[in-house]
Structure 1
Amino acid sequence: MRRALREYAFNTLRRGQAPPEVAVILRWVQRNSLSMAAWEDESTVETGLRAAMTKLDGTPVAAGSARRTKRVLNVLFEYAIKKKVLKENPLPKGQGASTTASKTSSAVDKRSLLNSEQAAKLLGWIYGRPRGGRRPHTFFAAMYYAGARPEEVVAIDVGDVRLPAADADDQWGELLLHTAHPEVGRQWTDTGEVREERGLKGRAADDTRTVPCRPALTRILRAHIEKEGLKPGDLLMQGEKGGDLAGSVIRRAWRRARKEVLNSYEFGTPLGRRVYDHRHTFLTNWLNAGVPAATVAEWAGNSVPVLLATYARCIDGQLDGLKHRIERAGELPDPTMPRG
């Protein structure tokens, strides 16, 4: 039933393509579903919210899932009001105990961050894979050294990689980011491709972001471009048959690397569990190196408040200097010390 609803009923592109066995399920759902008028009854609203905030085993859903579900319901009801199916949004405006989800935190779990030795071992293992290791290695290196989002890395055009002269691999370059290719799923895109082309997250459709390309990444990208025979207009990160590098390939390579490189304890912890943890690791490194938050936010494509709320708990290595500053600011004379 879930597959019938997700892949056909909720997908306007495929709604009329449901096979006979799926059509039978959808007709049953239609006959047994309440009309939208049911949402005008407060008890129905409470029952629906309680069900939405509970897993099948009776335990509460994660706070993030609850928040996301409420957001989806709000969009649904606002659309129903627009289409004059409902007169008002039935979701409670207050913070009733029965419907309030636990607070969520956007802060990064410090346990998920990699140190340089761990990152080097993981990327080294991926690079040495007998088949197809070089491309994922370039992808992970770009995430680690440039702090870009996965959907931004796979969308980089070779022409947007500004490298120094061939005899200056110890110099910095630049990456110009202006497009993202997030994974959406074939059934949800107009083109039938897994990924969809979009602008950068939280920015205007034609906006561009410049990210510094340190010498270590310069060497990796230059070697990758030369080995693959790429030229401006080509995607920097390509799959074996061309086109976008598949997310399944990326995740499979990373899972295998963690299993092979990390010890049993580390493997069971959040350490680098998600591909996105590369971005978290390097943005934290930038902040710990003393790069101003406004500059890191610009390179990362975040606002300063979001950046600080996300990474404040991970900033480290500056405590001693801050203690000395505090001591020098407004220190009162010690009455037990002799004056002279």
Structure 2
Amino acid sequence: MGTTFEVRIEPKIQKNRLAGKDRFSYTVRWRVAGERCKKTYASRALADGRRSELVSAVRRGEAFDIESGLPESEARARDAMSFYDFACKYVDMKWSRAAANTRRSIADALIAVAPVMLANTRSTPDGKLMRNALHKWGFNTARRPDAPVDIEDVLAWVQRNSLPVSALGRAETIRAVLDAVGSKLDGKPAAVTYTARRRAVLWNLCEYAVELGQLDANPIPTVKWSRPKRTIKRVDPATVPNPTQARALLAAVAARPGAGPRMAAYFGSMYYAALRPAEAIELGLSNLRLPREGWGKLILNDSNPYAGSAWTDSGSDYDHRQLKHREVAKSVRCPVLPT
């Protein structure tokens, strides 16, 4: 939005005779950065009121939008998006480059925020139905166009009753939103890592709103909000299998019929090489370097985390992609203890 302080308001209101009628209209005229602007009203009182509003905007030092010729506050209000529409736009912007589980995390965070950003809480759809509609369709770029009729009705209600995204700039609103991302459905505090993940989505959403001119600045730092305290959970040694117990457990799994040997290899790679489940599931013979003596190596090339078919591009439950926090086609060599 380009703005300017170069504004000149015509001192006189133009009186216009309506063709074929003994009636008149009244036009307010002004210039913004040299460009002519005008607005016509049916009565002089309305025209006088409008001219007074423009003069007041100039006197308080407000910039004018060059494209529309309106005071900046009016231009911003005219272009304001509802929170639901903006959240969908944010999801669509992120979708193509985000991993399937990241897409699901974004939707989860936005579902926590959406109820707080409703202007009308009367006649609200059933909470579970609304969360389901937002999670499976509203905040899912791929599935939104195919939402069933009953779900479309719910999403249309949310759209009609959403506050403008600019409401996030109010201290009381952003505080309520932060409380929502830090709470579970029952109102109890959410886990620290869960809260941090949802707050990160909210932060990024506000930055995108600033980028598109929907907010003047990210409102999150403007309020004093206490995050849940991090609690350190000590691991009970009694719950961790020692090497002897691990070998016995793996041997018992391998003895099971059918997929037993494969599952033993799966769990064994996680125990001995500390692999993520999504990395272990991608191991094949070509990934193994196991000498007769000494340490071996696992060559990790890909990851295949479970995400759910609603969030993957392929429609599979698994999202085949590069290793976590690694570039595409970047492999990692993982040492394996001698057994």
TM range (shorter): 0.5 to 0.7
Give the Å deviation of 1:174. Answer: 2.1
Aligned AA (2:194): S
Residue equivalent to 1:179 = 302
Q: Does 1:193 align with 2:316?
A: yes
Give the Å deviation of 1:123. Answer: 2.0
Higher RCO (C-alpha 8 Å, min separation 6): 1
RMSD of aligned C-alpha atoms? 2.3
C-alpha change, 1:58 and 1:191, in structure 2 (3 Å) is closer
Q: Does 1:212 align with 2:335?
A: yes
The structure richer in strand per residue is 2
Give the Å deviation of 1:53. Answer: 2.0
Q: With the length of structure 1 as denominator, give the TM-score of the two structures.
A: 0.56
Is the Cα–Cα contact under 8 Å of residues 174 and 210 in structure 1 kept in the other structure? yes
Q: Does 1:10 align with 2:139?
A: yes
Correspondence for 2:176 among 37, 44, 47: 47
SS at match of 1:139: helix
Alignment of 1:84-163 (within 5 A): 84-92=213-221, 96=224, 98-103=225-230, 105=232, 109-111=235-237, 112-163=239-290
Residue equivalent to 1:293 = none
Residue equivalent to 1:303 = none
C-alpha change, 1:172 and 1:188, in structure 2 (3 Å) is same
Is the Cα–Cα contact under 8 Å of residues 183 and 190 in structure 2 kept in the other structure? yes
Q: With the length of structure 2 as denominator, give the TM-score of the two structures.
A: 0.56
Residue equivalent to 1:278 = none
Is the Cα–Cα contact under 8 Å of residues 39 and 90 in structure 1 kept in the other structure? yes
Give the Å deviation of 1:171. Answer: 5.1
Give the Å deviation of 1:114. Answer: 2.2
Kindly provide the CA deviation profile for residues 113-151 of structure 1, in whole angstroms up to 9, marking residues without a partner as x. 322233233323322223322221110011112222111
CA distance in 1, matches of 2:187, 2:290: 55
Kindly provide the CA deviation profile for residues 277-327 of structure 1, in whole angstroms up to 9, marking residues without a partner as x. xxxxxxxxxxxxxxxxxxxxxxxxxxxxxxxxxxxxxxxxxxxxxxxxxxx
SS at match of 1:188: coil
C-alpha change, 1:60 and 1:171, in structure 2 (3 Å) is closer
Aligned AA (2:242): N
Give the Å deviation of 1:100. Answer: 2.6
CA distance in 1, matches of 2:138, 2:180: 21
CA distance in 2, matches of 1:155, 1:18: 34
CA distance in 2, matches of 1:118, 1:183: 28
Residue equivalent to 1:33 = 162
Aligned AA (1:12): T
Is the Cα–Cα contact under 8 Å of residues 49 and 99 in structure 1 kept in the other structure? no
C-alpha change, 1:173 and 1:140, in structure 2 (3 Å) is same
Residue equivalent to 2:75 = none
Give the unaligned 5+ runs of structure 2: 1-129
CA distance in 2, matches of 1:50, 1:212: 44
Give the Å deviation of 1:175. Answer: 1.4
SS at match of 2:220: coil
C-alpha change, 1:184 and 1:108, in structure 2 (3 Å) is farther
CA distance in 2, matches of 1:58, 1:197: 36
Give the unaligned 5+ runs of structure 1: 217-340
Structure having the higher Rg: 2
C-alpha change, 1:34 and 1:186, in structure 2 (3 Å) is same
Kindly provide the CA deviation profile for residues 57-76 of structure 1, in whole angstroms up to 9, marking residues without a partner as x. 33222222222221111121
SS at match of 1:212: strand
CA distance in 1, matches of 2:251, 2:267: 11
Q: Does 1:74 align with 2:203?
A: yes
Residue equivalent to 2:187 = 58
